[in-house]
Structure 1
Amino acid sequence: MNANRHLQLGQRDCDCHYWDQTDKWIVSGHWIIEMEEGQPARMYCDDTALIALGVAPGTSPEKCYTMWQENIFSSHVAEMQRHICAIMAGEQGDITYPWKSPTGSTMYLRSIGVRDMSYQKGVRLVGTFQDATSVVFSEQISRHAYLKSDFLLQILADTFEAVHVIQFDKGCVMPVRAVMPLFWKESGLDIARYLGLLPSFVPPKDCEAIEKCVAQRRALDKNGNFVTRCSWNFKGSAIEKDRWYNVLISLDPNVSKDDMIIAFRDISEVENNKHAVSTLRHTSEIDGLTKVFNRTAIEQKINAHISENTDETSLVLLLDLDNFKAVNDMFGHIEGDNLLIETAEKLEHFCRSTDKVGRLGGDEFIIFLRSVKEKDIDPLVSRIIEQLRKKYSNPEDDFEVTASIGIAHYPRDGASFSELYHCADIALYDAKRRGKNRYSRYRDMSPGKNGCQPV
C-alpha cells in the first residue's frame, strides 16, 4: 500500500477534527506513525510532508521514521518524547520544534497529532506537519526575546556540527546538536566528564585553552583578554589527526550569564582546499627540473623585496655554466640535467634563508643576495665559482665545466629586476669575453677598465 493511500485510510478511521485548524499556520503535510510490538516503527507521509522533511519519495516507512528521529535537534529530543507520550496517552499533542531544512537552513515545524484509538495492531498516531518558521521568527521579534534554545543556538547549529551549552549553575553540559562521529549527545553530561572527552580529538594545547575559558567562565583571546567570543582552528588529535576543526566559545548577553556556548565544526574541506591552493601556487613558482624558483617567480620576488626594502643594498648574480653544451653533446641530456640539478643544489647551499636562487632557463641561474658587506663579496663569489668547477673525461677529450658570473648592485645599478638583470647580463658577457671562469661587476664596466677578477 502506498503512503498516500495509507494516509487516506488513517485519516478516515481517525476523528481528526483539527485537520482544518490552519488559522495563520501553513499546513505542510500529513503523517501517520505506526508502532507494533516486535516491528520497527513506520512513518507514512504525504508528498508535501516528504518535501518538508527532505525525504526522497519512495523511501520506505521504516526509513522515513528513522530519518525523522535522527534529524530532531538534540536539544528537543526529550521534549519530543514527552509529546509522543502525551499523544499515546490520548491527549492531543501540539509541539513546535527546530528542523534542518533540505537546503541546510533552520526551519521550524509545528506538529499536531492524536492517537487513533480504533487501531488494534499496536499504536497509531495521526497528525500534520506545518511550516511555522515565519510565525516563530515574527513572534520572537515582536517580543524582543531571542531564546537561546530557539534562536541563537539553532542559528549556530546551521553551520556547526556540535553545539553545547555549559550550564555552570547546574554543573552540566546540554547538547543542542551533535552529529559528528566523535561528538557526544548525552544530555546533562558532567562538565568534568565533558572536558575529559576533549583530548580524543582536540590537541593538548587547544584543550588547555578551552579548559581555561571554562575555568574562568569567560571567553579569552590569544592574549588572555576577556572577550564576548573567541574562535580558532586546530588540527585534530588521536584518530582525528587528519582532520581540521574550528571551535567557537561564546557568551551571549541575551542569555543567562551562567551559560557558555561551545561549538565545533569540521573545516577539513576548507583547510585541504587552502593547502591545495598553496601547493598549486608553490608548484607554479618552481622550476620543474632544479626545484629552485623559475624566471617568473624570481622576478616577482626580487621586485617585491625591492619595493618593500628601498634602503637595503643587495646583489644580483647572473651565472652561466661554461662548456655546458659539451656535456650534453658528449654525455647526453640526462647528464646535462643532472649537472643543472647539482648546480642548483650547490647554489642553495651557499645562500642564506633570506637569499633566493632562480633558474632563468638553460644553464643560466640568478642569485639574489641581501645585505652583503662589501668586504665579503669577492670571497663569496670566488668560492661559488670554485665549488661549481667540475671535470669531465672521455676517451677523446678532457674538459672542465666552470661558471662565469655577472654582478649588479642595488640600488646603484638599477631599481627593478629588469634593470638589474640588464646590468648583470652586461657584466656576465664581459666575464665570458675575458676568458670565462671568473666574475665581473657592472660598476667596474667603464672605458679602460677590464672589470675582470680572475680566479
Structure 2
Amino acid sequence: MSAQPPPSSRRALTAFLAVFALAALCAGALIWTLEQQDRAQQRTQAADMAGDHVQALQRAIELALSANNALVALVRQGRGNVTQFEEVGTQMLPFYPGIAAMGLSPGGVVKQVVPRQGNESLIGFDQLNDPRQSAESIRARDTGLLTLAGPIELVQGGLGVVGRQPVYLDGEQGQRSFWGFTYVTIRLPEVLAATRLPQLTERGYHYRLWRVRPDTGEEQTIAASTPPPGADAVGRALTLPNGQWTLSLAPAKGWGTPAVLALRCALGLLFALLMAFLARLLVALKAHERGLAFQVAQRTSEIQATQQQLRATIDAIPDPLFELDIDGRYYSVHSPRTELLVAPAEQLIGRNVTDVLPALAALSVMDVLKEAQAQGWSAGRQIVLDLPGLGATWFELSAARKSGSSGAIPRFILLSRDITERKRSQEQLLLTAQVFDQSSEAIVVADASHTIVRINRAFTRITGYQESEAVGQSVRLLTVAESTPDFDADAVYARLTQEGHWEGEAWGRRKDGSTYPQWLSVSSVRDGNGCATHSITLFRDITVQREAQDRIQRLAHFDPLTELPNRALLAERARRHIADEQAKGGTLAMLFLDLDHFKNVNDSLGHRVGDILLVAVARRLQSLLNPQDTVSRLGGDEFLLLLPSASAAHAAEVATRLLTAVAQPFQIDPYELTTTLSVGIAMYPADGDSFDTLYQRADAAMYRAKQNGRNRYGFFTADLEARTARALQIENALRRALERNQFELHYQPQVSLATRQVVGAEALLRWRHPELGMVSPAEFIPVAESSGMIVSIGEWVLHTAVHDAKRWLDMQLPLRAISVNLSAVQFRHPQLPEMVTRCLQQAGLPARRLELELTEGAAVDDPAAALAMMDQLHDRGVRLSMDDFGTGYSSLSYLKRFQIYKLKIDQSFVRDLDDDANDRAIVSAIIRMAQALGMQTTAEGVETDGQLEFLREQGCDEGQGYLFSRPLPADEFEAYLRQHLRG
C-alpha cells in the first residue's frame, strides 16, 4: 500500500496548481492586450508618416497643375489668340519645376507647345480623337473641369501625367463656346522626387504608390519599393482631379516586436510561478498559525489570571502610578483619581514628561529617574502642579527601576503621592510664624497668670525691650495703669477670662520711660474644655496716626494756601450764627468777594505770583475784620465774609473799607500789583434764612456789581432774584431742549439788490418751549454760551441748515448759498473745522455753498488764533462773512488779513438811512472799504424802498430784511423759493 501525502501537503499542491493556472491566464491576457496596443501604435505611426509624404506629393502636383490657370488667363486675354505663347511659356517654365511641357489645343488639336524642341511631334495631335486620351479629354470638355491623365509614357520619354484644362470664351452676345484646352505635361519622377519616398526604405518601411484606373478599375502602381508592402499595409489617399492615388506602407520587419513578445511571455511565466509559490506558502502558514493559536490561547488565559491579580494590587494604590523610560516617556498610567492627572491617561501614553509637565516639575522627574537609574530607587523629591479644578497640588515622588533583559531601555515605576494637605499645613504653620514675627503690630503671648512667654520683633521696635528682658514679666509692663478713662489694666485682664476680648486706646510706656498713644487689642485663648490658657495682646503706636488725623482735620476746615477757613467751616459757623441771630431777633451779613481781572495776573506773571497775591489779599482782609467775623476762601480768587450781628449799614461800611484797602498796591518782588474787588451783600433774614440761600444771593449780587463796572459793592434785590431765577430756569430748560426737538430754524432770504433775485438765506435759530413759549435768542444764546451748550446746539444748527440747503438745491430752487451764524465760543473751539467738514460730507453739500457768519468780537479777541481758524476753514472751501460790521472794534490791519468773503452792514446803520446823514456816510464808507478789499457787502434790516435805492446806488451787493421777507420756517421758505422760481 503506497503512502499518501498528508492533508496539508495535498491542499498546498492544489493551491499551487490552481493559482498557477489563474496567474498564467491573467498574464496571457495582459500580454495579448499589450501586443495589440503596440501594433495599433505602430500602424498609427506608419499612417502618420504616409500622410506626411502624401501631403508633399499633393503640393508638388497642385503647383504644377496651377500653371494651367495662367495659360487659361492668356487665352481669355487674347480672346483665343495667343501670339507670344512661346515667349511667355518659356518664362513660366522655371517657376513650375517638374513640368516637361505646356501647350495650347484650340478645338482639341495641339497648335502650340513650349519647349518646342523635342516636342515637335505633338504639333497637330488631336486630343479628342486619340484612343488613349480621348475619354479624359471629352470628360474635361463636357464638365468644364481640370482632368489629370496618366501616368502614361510621354512622347519625350519617361513616365508622366497630363493636366488638361478646358477653356470657354464668351461671345459678343453673351453665349459661351468651347475654345479648346490648355495642358501641362508633368514628369512623374521629378514630382515624386519632392516627396522623398526612398527615405521610407531607409526608415525600415516598404512602400507602394498606386491608383485605380478610372476606365478599367484596375490598380496601377506608380512607384514602389523593392519588395513592395504586403496586403496588411496601411495607407493614406491623395485626391487629384479625375482620380485618387494611395500611398501604402508596411514595416520591413513586419508588425510587432518578437523580442519584446518573448520577454513578456517569460515575465508572465515567472509571475505565474511566483504567485503559485506564494499560495503554497500561505496555505502552509495558515496551518502553522492554527497550531500556534491553541498555544497562544492557553498562555493568554494564564497571563490574564496574572494580570487580574496585578490589577487588583495596583487598584489598591490610591496615588497616581506611572511607568516611564529613562528619557521620561510614558508607557502606562494608572490613577483611581483622574483629577490628579495633568491630562487624560490616553493622552499621556507615548508622550514625554517635558511635553506635558511644567519645566521645573519635568526637570525634577528627570532627576528622580536618573537617581533611580544610578542606585535602583529614589524617594523624597517634591513637585507642584496646577491642576484644573484643584489648583496648586503638591506631590512627593518615589521611583524604582524595573528589572529587564540586558541591553533593553531601562524602565521605571514612578509613584506620585498627593501631599497637598500636608504641604498646606506646613505652609500655614510657616506663614503663621512669619506673620507673628514680621507683623507691624506688636504681639505678646502671655500665660494664664498674664506672664509674657513670647514677643515678636515689632514689640522690641516699639517698646525698646529685648525678648530676654520682656519674657517672664507681667503684661502690665505694656501700659500706663489707668492711662485712659476706658482702660484700667487690672480690670481689663481680670475681666478677660469672662468676656474673652477687649479693644481700645491706652497709653504705653517704653523702656526709656517715655509714653505714647497705642491701640490695644487683648484676646484670650481657650483649650478644648473652654478654659483660658493664654492671652494674646496686640498693640501699635498711633502717634503718627494721631498727627495725621489732626492734619486731616485742619485740611478739612482750612484753605491750604491762605490758611483761611474753607467753605465747610464757614458754613458750620454760619449755621451757628444764624441760629443765634434767630434766637435774639438780630441780623447778619454775608459778603461775596471776587478779585477783578485776577486771571490776567496768572496768565501774564504765572500762578506762583498769583498765589502770593492771594495770600497777601487774605492777610489784608483779615487785618480789617473784628475777631467775631470770619473770612474764608472758596477757591480761585473768591472769598466769603461772614459778619454776625451786623446791619446793612455796617455791611456797607465794611465793604467800603475792603474796597479801599484792596485797591492799595501790593508789593510782590519784583512787581507792584494793583487789583480791585467786586462785592455782593446778602442780609439775614431779609434775603434768606440759610447759609446756602445767603451764599447764592450774595453771589448774584456780586455778579451784578461786576456787570456795573467792578470795584464796587451791591446789595441783593428782588429784581435781581427774578433775573437770577429766570436765568436758572432758562439754563435748566435749555439742557433738554435739543434732545426734545424744541429748536427750529427760520430762514430769511438774501436778495441781490441789482436783480431782486434770491441768492441766499440766513439760518436763524428759534426755540419754542412748551411752557415758556418762544424764547428770544437774545435771552437764551448768552446762557448757552456761558454754559458751553452752544457747541452742541451750533452743530445741530449747522447740520440742519446744510441738509435743508442740499434738499433745496436738488430741487433746482434759486438758492446759491446758506449762511449760518457762529458764536465766539464756537469759533474758538479747536474741532470746528472737522465738525463743519463732517456736516458737509453727511449732507453731500459742496463747501462753497456754505457761509459762516462771525461777529467782530469773535475775530479780534485773539487775532492770531482767528487767522489760523479762518485759514483752516478757507482751505476747506467754506466762505466767511463778518456779521454786524461796524458795531464793534475792528482793527483794519487785521481785517485786510482775514479770509473774509463778505461784510454784513448792521441794521442799526441801515434803519435811519432815510433821515440820518451820518448813517449814510458810514454805510457808504463801509461799502467803499469792502470794494477796495475785494469783499462783497450785505445790508441787514432793509425795510423801505428808499433804503433799497440808496444801497443800490452805493454799490451794495445784497440785502435782507422785511422789505423782502421776514424769517420763515423751512416749509414756508421752500414755498417762497418756489414762488420766485416761477417768477
| Bin of the TM-score, shorter chain as denominator length | 0.3 to 0.5
The structure with the largest alpha-carbon Rg is 2
Indicate the structure with greater helix content: 2
TM-score by length of structure 2 reads 0.23
TM-score, normalization: structure 1? 0.42
Q: Per chain length, whose mean CA-contact separation is higher, i.e. which structure has more relative contact order (CA < 8 Å, sep 6+)?
A: 1
